Amino acid sequence: MDDLHALIEDVWIARHDDELQAERAQRRKGRPPSIREGQLELIKNTELEEYRTGIGAPPATSAPPSHHLHAAEVPDLTHRANVTLFRRWDGKDPAFLDLLRYIRISSATPDKIMVSRPGRHSTLIEKKDEGPMDTS
């Protein structure tokens, strides 16, 4: 779970930071932010709030769709079969991601998870001897 939270905080939410910093650097003093800068700030703030408040439906936003996953929704890397399936992904076919099991996590309750999408791949059907991995 610690690794999942670190990925969200250090990679996912920070993924636009370089572009946002470049937009801010290009702006002359006293000028309003560019449209792109405003969009990037809105995306980041929306995702930070979703991650902070955690489990539940993603918030309504006027931000343009910028990604497949929401900040607090991640592939379930605590589930053995899902990890095996995730490792088979070539990183190119976005449709493959819909086969995976996803969980929602929160910075407010970092030890809790909620299955948000159970996954559609046949290997993700729960078996008594192959359930979630021990995360303790």
Query: Residue 87 domain-assigned?
Result: yes
The label of the residue with tokens 């489990």 reads 55
pTM (whole model) above 0.85: no
Query: Residue 131 domain-assigned?
Result: no
Query: Residue 129 domain-assigned?
Result: no
- If one counts the domains in the chain, the total is 1
Query: Residue 113 domain-assigned?
Result: yes
pLDDT of 135 over the 70 cut: no
Between CA 80 and CA 52 the distance in angstroms is 27
Query: Residue 8 domain-assigned?
Result: yes
By CB neighbour count within 10 A (0-12 exposed, 13-18 middle, 19+ buried), where does 76 fall? buried
Output the pLDDT for position 93.
Answer: 83
Residue ranges making up the domain that contains 94: 2-124
Query: Residue 43 domain-assigned?
Result: yes
Output the pLDDT for position 38.
Answer: 95
Output the pLDDT for position 56.
Answer: 46
Query: Residue 136 domain-assigned?
Result: no
Report pLDDT digits (tens) over 59-107.
444 444 444 444 467 888 888 899 899 888 887 788 888 899 998 888 8
Q: 27 near 37, Cβ under 8 Å?
A: yes
Report pLDDT digits (tens) over 6-58.
877 887 788 899 999 999 999 999 999 999 999 999 999 988 888 887 644 44
